[in-house]
Structure 1
């Protein structure tokens, strides 16, 4: 999935109605703590970032060796939430604009 599409999907999810309080508590935390877990436990580093309409920073982290990936959203207050995660990450540089690229 192209990074731009992944970030667009993440922005849509991030601006959707909030999760139930019990779910939010498990999936959100201080930015530094969340990034430490992604780096130490999964070996993931930031691959892409964008700004959502609500001023949240949406980021894609991935481990290029194992293929694990995580999309996060960080509020202006510094709270980072996990939006999605998975396997088989592949960096792509392709255009979805007709007539450009392959």
Structure 2
């Protein structure tokens, strides 16, 4: 697997959750600028990847390469950002695609 494949897998998972997350109670949502500032100042997390999902939503993965904490966010077109998932042990990967098996 490549890093891009892993990133796209994470983004696809976030996209599946995005549509329901943005319509749920807004307790885990705030203005994008505020969320980014809090992730940086509280957890030392910076954006590691980004992708577009359905309904013009943006899925982002933030992580700290120092502590290993990570957060997935979804932002709608109005700038409302919701926390989708978070965890520990973030790692950057640089895996390569396996060589396709030749037909016998």
- TM above 0.5: yes
The alignment's C-alpha RMSD in Å is 1.8
Specify every segment of 5 or more residues in structure 1 that has no aligned partner in the other structure, as ranges. Answer: none
- For 1:49-60, list aligned pairs within 5 A: 49-60=50-61
Describe the SS at the equivalent of 1:88.
Answer: coil
* 1:1-102 aligned within 5 A: 2-16=6-20, 18-19=23-24, 21=25, 24=26, 26-95=27-96, 98-99=98-99
Give the TM-score taking structure 2 as reference length: 0.83
Asked if the contact 1:73/1:80 (under 8 Å) is kept, the reply is yes
Secondary structure of 1:29's counterpart equals: strand
Q: Distance in 2 between matches of 1:49 and 1:79?
A: 16
TM-score, structure 1 as length reference: 0.84
2:80 and 2:42 map into 1 onto residues whose CA distance is 20
What are the Cα deviations for residues 3-38 of structure 1, in whole angstroms up to 9, with x where unaligned? Answer: 11111100111023632x2xx2x2000001000100
Where do 5+ consecutive residues of structure 2 fail to align?
none
More helix by share: 2
Q: Which has the higher contact order (CA 8 A, sep 6+)?
A: 2
Note if contact 1:3-1:92 (Cα within 8 Å) is conserved in structure 2: no
Contact preservation (8 Å) 1:72, 1:80: yes
Give 4+ residue runs of structure 1 displaced > 3 Å after superposition.
Answer: none
Tell me the matched-pair count: 95
